A and B are shown apart, each in its own frame.
Chain A
């Protein structure tokens, strides 16, 4: 998927994460901050990158502000932000396909 316009999903509430995606040209440029960085930073980064890969996003600037979200929430926020940026978040979502 190609990131067409800036989009965001999620909140800064505890247990949530706010994910912003913007068009980019140099692969995935990830900026990550987290309230649980020392224990889960590596895993959060891996989850975000895996999710982007599943969505076939190759170039994007991605900002994640994590407030202790579980993996399932991180995935949901990344997916929603990416699909919003492509204008495809409202219907015919590939549940169980690229979204899983």
Chain B
């Protein structure tokens, strides 16, 4: 069945009330029943919940084959915990048919690819999938299609009972003996633990894994002991060098800077750019550099930013410290400047993924957002964005908060070079729709700016400010004139991943790719 972005969704996925994507805000006003976990009472006073090993914690929590284990991705490419837990479950306890439900997965998790190939891991639910794991899932080796959700879609699915977590594993930079966790104060600090919060509240069992045990009570706790069954102390939960870079530097690449300047120009041309405006930007080259130029416009107009959200890094913390932004509300930290600032700099707060982006709750921050600046792997002439699959059809990205912020914000700006090497970023049809075109307003490239015709108000803003813009079709043609028109990818029938829209409807599927054989 075709959905609202023209993607054909196979019927076998449309069961148990599952629908295809119908357009923005389709679920608004509908009722849901929240799920509740089945948890064990800890009535009798205990001095400590520390157990000897992960294997012991798994046994204590009744780990069995067929279960779903959850993880958060605050340790990013430095994470050791996913691999550690899965090794204990599969190699020590001999479990099988396991599902990993992670907030995201990356190159750190290459070893899991082997468990997928052996059939021990049969399900993956995540926002991001990259590296070896992306390759084996794309090759059709995972028993069930991977389920890809946005950062807001995940807490929605957990709270709505679509994902039932048997055991949540919380990698914690610090914990006390009963499981009050924080993201700071240890040797593998990550700052915010926002993505772990829903997991801890909705899982049947919660195991905290830490490499830095601190005195009770570890306050203010991001994950609270009231939800925790067991604490395991290990030598190291991650490689600090890969958890948070020393400082996210603003790009010096002239192409990035040129695009960033145009992003700021577009923002400054709209009526939403006024004292107290709200803002989110990614950490990619041109997105982050937009901060720099935006600050110049703020100074010129004598206005300040009211609040900023998102994954946070140094340049935003810098603006907070200079008093140019009122509050920073933080679901994840990308560099040490941000890690060292959360809870310390006045006005720098932590929030959960649900509070950040869940479309089914009643107060997600993304819905109050004025501007968001985002990157893309591909954008098509319907303004649909792909941030999940490469142009070659292989899984190597993450929707993250992209679809949530795009849908919630008043102005969503995508910034990307027109081509990368020989790949056309602006194309006829994206390989996978991860953010629907009705949520995307402006595209800024190194070859020109295009405004979504659904936003005549923004077209007028740009015209009034004398900012030149062109049609997205002309950008696509320019891209193809540079790199040549690509051949259509060839697919097999097998669905390897299902992409949920943030509201839980099905936005797209990824099928198994048929690679081109030059000798054939």
A and B pair up? yes
A-side residues, CB < 8 A to B, are: 14-15, 30, 32, 35-45, 67-71
Q: Can you sample 6 A-B contacts with CB below 8 Å?
A: A15-B422, A36-B422, A40-B484, A43-B484, A68-B422, A70-B484
B392 contacts A37, CB within 8 Å? yes
Q: Name the B residues within 8 Å of A42 (CB-CB).
A: 487, 516, 518
* Contact call B482/A39, Cβ cutoff below 8 A: no
The residue on B at minimum CB distance from A45 is B518
Contact between chains at A39 and B487 (CB < 8 Å):
yes
B518 near A36 with CB under 8 A, answer no
Most chain A beta-carbon neighbours within 10 Å: one of B420, B422, B513:
B422
Complex Cα spacing A37 to B490, Å: 12
- Whether A15 lies near B518 (C-beta < 8 A) is no
Chain B contacts to A: CB under 8 angstroms:
391-393, 420-423, 482-484, 486-487, 489-490, 513, 515-516, 518
B421 touches A35 (CB 8 A): yes
With beta carbons under 8 angstroms apart, the residue of A14, A43, A45 that contacts B421 is: A14
A40 and B515 CA atoms in complex are apart in Å by: 11
Q: Which residues in B have their C-beta under 8 angstroms from that of A30?
A: 518
- Whether A32 touches B518, Cβ cut-off 8 Å, given contacts A70-B422, A70-B483, is yes
* A36 and B515 form a contact (CB under 8 A): no
- Rounded to whole angstroms, the CA-CA distance of A69 and B391 in the bound complex is 15
How many Å lie between the Cα of A41 and that of B516 in the bound state? 7
Q: Which residues of A contact B513 (CB under 8 A)?
A: 38
Q: Which residues does chain B contribute within 8 Å of A32, judged by CB atoms? A: 518
Contacting residue for A38 out of B420, B482, B484, B515, CB 8 A: B515
Which of chain A's residues have a CB closer than 8 A to the CB of B515?
A: 37-38
Q: Whole-angstrom distance from the CB of A3 to the nearest CB of chain B?
A: 20
Residues of A within 8 A of B518 (CB): 30, 32, 37, 41-42, 44-45
Nearest 3 CB-CB pairings of A with B = A68-B421, A39-B486, A68-B422
- A38 in contact with B392 (CB, 8 Å): yes
By beta carbon, the residue of chain B nearest A16 is: B421
Q: Which residues of B contact A68 (CB under 8 A)?
A: 420-423
Set A35, A39, A45, A71: member contacting B489, Cβ < 8 A: A39
